[in-house]
Amino acid sequence: MKRILMTILLAGALAFPMRASEVEQLKSDLIGQTMGGREKSWKFQSLDQIKELVIKTKTEDTQRRVYTIALQLQAANAGGKYAAEARVEYAKAETGWKIRQVGLLSLQKMK
């Protein structure tokens, strides 16, 4: 019983860094991307703008990976803080996964 518990704890501890690196990879991949349109949009210019990124959902098949993420963003030059939700779609490429589209689901200025 003790051995089973230790195995479960070890598996959980190993899964956390993998999830953290997935978040860091998402942040890095977002730089240079734009989400939204004329009314509301956000251009990811640097990692410093992304104060928090939480993966809410993830679906994946052999050719596509889709994330729904929650973000806390900081505009450049102290322009304000924003809460956002986005849908990030990756497509399988020869060199790995590449962002195909970043869809803005919501963007609100925080008080």
58 and 26 in contact (C-beta within 8 Å)? no
Local structure of residue 94 (DSSP, 8 states): T
In CATH terms, 2-109 corresponds, of 3.40.5, 3.30.460, 3.90.75, 3.10.450, to: 3.10.450
pLDDT tens, position by position, 12-54: 444 444 455 999 999 999 999 999 988 889 999 999 999 999 9
Any idea where the domains of the chain sit in the sequence? 2-109
In this structure, what are the phi and psi dihedrals at residue 97, rounded to the nearest 5 degrees?
-85, 135
Q: Which residue did the predictor score with more confidence, 106 or 3?
A: 106
The pTM (predicted TM-score) of the whole model is 0.78
Give whole-number Cα distances, 62 to 86, 91, 96, in Å. 22, 9, 12
Strands (E), 12-95: 34-36, 41-43, 50-60, 64-74, 81-93
What is the pLDDT averaged over residues 53-66? 96
Calculate Rg over the CA atoms of the chain.
17
